[in-house]
């Protein structure tokens, strides 16, 4: 019974994460790709404000007041625990978010070769 309840909670969190706006997903993906649940970011950013108001992010340790332009924010532990599963289950959406919000690596080395 406990196992089913935990599985249901996990599924509900993943559903909520999947329903976030792409900009907010991009913020969470950035945390995920950095491999950290606490990092400095702008709490006034609209995408971050959605995550804070939804309860996904909390003010983190130190680093000034919450209304600072660059302060620590922490992903709640119950959210962090399902990030691996969310990335797999919402793979199509996350691929679109990565394409839209993250820079593609530039592998054009011609300018380096010309300068040598």
CATH code for the domain of 43:
1.10.10
Report yes or no on 82 lying in a domain: yes
CA distances from 13 to 26, 44, 88 (A): 17, 24, 14
Report yes or no on 5 lying in a domain: no
Spatial contact of 83 and 28, defined as CB atoms under 8 Å apart: yes
Report yes or no on 111 lying in a domain: no
- Split into its structural domains, the chain has a count of 1
Spatial contact of 71 and 40, defined as CB atoms under 8 Å apart: yes
**Over pLDDT 70: what percentage of the chain?**
77
Q: Among 78, 79, 60, 80, which residue's Cα sits nearest to residue 70?
A: 60
- State pLDDT tens for residues 18-39: 889 988 988 998 898 888 888 8
Residue 65: per-residue pLDDT: 53
Report yes or no on 105 lying in a domain: no
Give pTM, 2 decimals: 0.71
Nearest-angstrom CA–CA distance, 85 and 80: 10
- State pLDDT tens for residues 26-75: 899 889 888 888 888 888 889 999 999 999 998 866 555 555 566 889 99
Spatial contact of 34 and 106, defined as CB atoms under 8 Å apart: no
Report yes or no on 62 lying in a domain: yes
Spatial contact of 78 and 13, defined as CB atoms under 8 Å apart: yes
Spatial contact of 52 and 85, defined as CB atoms under 8 Å apart: no
Q: Among 65, 59, 51, 68, which residue's Cα sits nearest to residue 16?
A: 51
């Amino acid at each position: 019974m406990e196992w089913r309840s935990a599985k249901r909670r996990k599924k509900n969190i993943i559903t909520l994460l999947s329903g976030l706006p792409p900009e907010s997903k991009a913020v969470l993906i950035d945390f995920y790709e950095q491999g950290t649940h606490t990092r400095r970011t702008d709490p006034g950013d609209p995408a971050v404000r959605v995550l804070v108001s939804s309860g996904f992010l909390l003010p983190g340790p130190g680093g000034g007041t919450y209304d600072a332009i660059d302060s620590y924010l922490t992903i709640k532990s119950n959210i962090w625990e399902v990030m691996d599963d969310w990335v797999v289950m919402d793979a199509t959406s996350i691929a679109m978010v990565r394409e839209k919000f993250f820079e593609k690596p530039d592998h054009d080395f011609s300018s380096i070769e010309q300068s040598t």
